[in-house]
Amino acid sequence: MKKIGLIMAVLAGSFFSFAQQNIADARTFGIGSTVTISGVATNGGELGPIRYVQDATAGLACYGGPITGVNEGDSVTVTGPLIEFSGLLEISIVDNVVNHGQAVVQPTPLQIPITSAGESLESQLVEIENVTFVQSGSFAGNTTYQITDGTNQLDVRVNSGTNLVGTAIPTGPVTVTGPLGQFNANYQIVPRSTNDVVAYVAPLYEINVMLDGATVLHTSDYFIGSATTVTVDIENYGTQDLIVSGAVFTGPDAGDFSSNIGTPTIAGGSSQQFTINYTPSNTGSHFATLEIASNDADENPYIINFEGVGTDNLASEPTANPTGLTFPTVEAYTLNGTYAAGSGATNYLVLWKTGSAITGVPQDGNTYLRGDVVGDAKVAYAGPGTTFTPRGVIANQDYHFAVYAFNGQAGYENYLTTSPATGNQMSSGANIGNYYGSLTSATTTLHSDLQALINPHTEVTYFLYKLTMMDQFEVRDTTGGQSFVECVYSGERYVFDDPFDWTATGYSREHTFAHSWMPTFPADQPEEPEYNDQHNLYPANLAEANSPRSNLPLGEIDGTVVDSYLEGATGYSGTQLVYEPRDSHKGNAARAIFYMVTCYGFPLSGNVNSDKQDQQLLKDWHFNDLPDNREIARHEFIFNQQGNRNPYIDSVAWACFIDFDQFGYDATNCNLSIEDQVQNSMVVYPVPASEKVYIQVNGTVITSYEVIDMQGRVVASNADTNEDVVIFNTNEFETGSYIMRVVTPYGEAQQKMIIK
């Protein structure tokens, strides 16, 4: 069998002339990055709107958009953003496809044992021989089965679009072929038709090589580290004698490696054991290639590339750190960094912290995983890529970064600790623009004007909440390469190994404005926009927070506590049973409910399920817990997904003018002073500003303004403005911080303005 790297299809001319990077490089880019790859599709429409695309270096799944017009065997150039969907790295939704027609050379399946099915081969076309199905009967569509080699198992996903559906599950040994996918923690082979599940026929002779008990595929790399000996098992999967005619080491450090393999004859179905010896002659990394010649024609010679470390137990130190750290993507909820590769380096360690330059330095021989602490910083990324996307970015923060080059695998790392690539980047803030136009709190139709503005909007399904909100915002890093998700009600931080899974973590999508409060209840059969709305959905521990809350009104417990978990509790407010979330979420919850009333016209009163919700308490929570930078970041992310905004995050004073019980205009204005209303409605964005800066006070006009520098000097002013939005070009100011002071018909307000 050919356990070799996949063959890239070659077009007339230069195949990669259309690509920005090969697929192996693209797989190292951060989630959210837009990449362009070129390769060959190994499936067509039988697997639905997904195409597995591969080149000579790796494979990558591509989903949706124009990719659905691609046929199996087409040579394509694909552009789109990287996401991780239930563990599977993919380009989704595909932005653009250039179809170059059928490839001249088609990919050859990579024949592997079950134990080799893993991340390094994800999305590549693979073939597994001499396995049997655990189940019997007939194949059903969109169903997962298992194959076994007698010891290990692997999932087989049968798609409803294939002609396997309805056929008998084989009872004897088979060979299964298909792209290697992943769903949550499980890898799965995805056959495309009945031609991918065929009876196994043993070859005449077939070499397989195991090093210290694990199969090492032909042309693969093997890190020997500082080990002085490695056990080699040469297996013959065939029925006749495998004749080994020699084994030699080549390469720059071949003299440091030796073996006793010789020229054995290995009978069919048997194996023989040998030894490789490694004695480094000096410090640093050592490289050599083992070539085993045999009568297995399609793997002759069988090649394994060895890497070891020298007498100092460290890999070679890189000769130069990366340079040119830039940040091409900056939002309130994410940013993307990129840098030019260092010299003599195979990997990079990206550190980050908030507020000041990094002084922490990595230590040789230490393995750092995403989220680990290094001095005064944390690890944002560790790997071979030259781009990164840290998790946990929030609005209006000054993030500092340092990028170190290193070589070596776990425990043998050698970091170049002088002159790392450094830089800092401020995440942006609220990006309101002219979204609200001339809307003003002075008009009695404010509530209906806001409803018309924010509804309808782009609908994101309840199912996709994991892909959008969880994977791209809520899930954050902790130490040891693990992740955590935070329960909004209780404050619990649940630690888990990626990828995130609702069932495994015991978490759910909590409707702040309860599902049963909706007049359209049940609104999930089929799903209605109000059921799916991400402004209303937050992650919560199902058993300890979501279920105890149920559809209870939110309130403050002043009587008996019935049940509690960390900072959330169920109990009595007077005679009413309520759920009280942690203090830091009370304002967020209030604004989610305000949004739902406004967006869908669901008044709190008159509904048997929601009329016990106290709107005045929500207004108190709203003003006592104003939007913080994390809520602003979440808001901007949802705006990016749904295309609509929560008005009460952008202009907190507007809550004073809405009667949420009746969904009408409220002239009492929450007893909030005019000055507070103006200050709470002022927005300066973006922060920092690099080209233009916008200043507005939602609901009114700016009659005059002053821009004051940090020395108290007025550097710009206009006494007769009368504009809804004041716009500056940043080149009008020097880089630095300023105070923007504005006057409106209802009073004055001021905010900081930062020019980059």
Is 156 contained in some domain? Answer: no
Per residue in 427-440, pLDDT (tens digit) is 998 888 889 988 98
Q: Would you say 300 and 294 are in contact if contact means Cβ atoms under 8 Å apart?
A: yes
| Percent helix / strand / coil, the chain, rounded to 5 | 20, 40, 45
Q: What is the model's pTM?
A: 0.85
Note the pLDDT of residue 683: 80
Q: What confidence category does residue 145 fall into, taking pLDDT thresholds of 50, 70 and 90?
A: very high
For residues 299 and 335, membership in a common domain is answered with: no
Percent of all residues in the chain with a pLDDT value above 90, rounded to a whole number? 81
Q: b/e per residue, 690-703, with b = 16+ CB within 10 A?
A: eeebbbbbbbbbbe
Q: How confident is the model at residue 19 (pLDDT cuts 50, 70, 90)?
A: very low
**Does 544 lie in the same domain as 569?**
yes
Residues 503 and 641 in one domain: yes
Mean per-residue pLDDT for 259-270?
Answer: 97
Q: Indicate the DSSP class of residue 14.
A: -
- For 211-216, what is the mean pLDDT? 95
CB 625 within 8 A of CB 537: no
Domain boundary among 309, 335, 353: 309
The candidate with the shortest Cα–Cα distance to 568, out of 580, 554, 583, is 580
Q: pLDDT (tens digit, 9 = 90+) per residue, 339-357?
A: 999 999 999 999 999 999 9
Confidence of residue 366 (pLDDT cuts 50, 70, 90): very high
Cis peptide before 526 (omega within 30 of 0): yes
- Do 342 and 294 lie in one domain? The reply is no
Mean pLDDT within 551-562: 96
Enter the tokens of residue 140. 């059903």
Task: Tell whether the model's pLDDT for residue 223 goes beyond 90.
Answer: yes
Is the residue at 47 inside a domain?
Answer: no
Report how far apart, in Å, the C-alpha atoms of 476 and of each of 496, 629, 633 are.
10, 16, 14
Question: How many Å apart are CA 676 and CA 230, to the nearest integer?
Answer: 73
Answer whether residue 13 is part of any domain: no
CATH of the domain at 702: 2.60.40.1220
The answer to whether residues 735 and 640 belong to one domain is: no
Q: How many domains does the chain have?
A: 4
Evaluate if residue 693 carries a pLDDT over 90: no
Q: What does R_g of the chain's alpha carbons equal in angstroms?
A: 30
| pLDDT > 70 in the chain, percent | 96
**Any domain includes 112:** no
The answer to the question of residue 439 being in a domain is no
Same domain, 541 and 414: no
> Looking at the structure, do residues 619 and 736 belong to the same domain, yes or no?
no
Residues 338 and 462 in one domain: no
Residue 419: which domain range? 323-426
The 10s digit of each residue's pLDDT in 521-545 is 999 999 999 999 999 999 999 999 9
More confident residue, 7 or 447: 447
Report the C-alpha gap between 380 and 302 in whole angstroms: 38
Which of 17-21, 189-193, 461-465, 584-588 has the least mean pLDDT? 17-21
Q: Is the dihedral of CA 341, 345, 346, 348 positive or negative?
A: negative
Q: What is the pLDDT of the chain when averaged over all its residues?
A: 92
Domain match, 504 and 628 both: yes
- What's the pLDDT band for 12 if we cut at 50, 70, 90? very low
Window from 342-346, 386-390, 695-699 with minimum mean pLDDT: 695-699
Give the pLDDT confidence score for residue 671 in this predicted structure: 67
* pLDDT surpassing 50 at residue 5: no
Interval 158-183 mean pLDDT: 97
Q: Is the same domain home to 405 and 338?
A: yes
Q: Does residue 223 sit within a domain?
A: yes
Tokens encoding 588: 């967020």
Q: pLDDT tens, 464-504?
A: 999 899 989 999 999 999 999 999 999 999 999 988 999 99
Residues 363 and 465 both lie in one domain: no
In a domain, 172, yes or no: no
The torsion angles phi and psi of 307, rounded to 5 degrees, stand at -130, 130
CA pair distance 673, 293, nearest whole angstrom: 87
The reply to whether 506 and 601 lie within a common domain is yes
Three-class secondary structure of residue 299 per DSSP: helix
Question: Average pLDDT in the 396-400 region?
Answer: 94
Rounded average pLDDT over 415-421: 98
CATH number of the domain that 299 lies in? 2.60.40.10
Question: Which residue among 275, 309, 343 closes a domain?
Answer: 309
Answer whether residue 38 shows pLDDT above 70: yes
Taking residues 612-629, what's their average pLDDT? 94
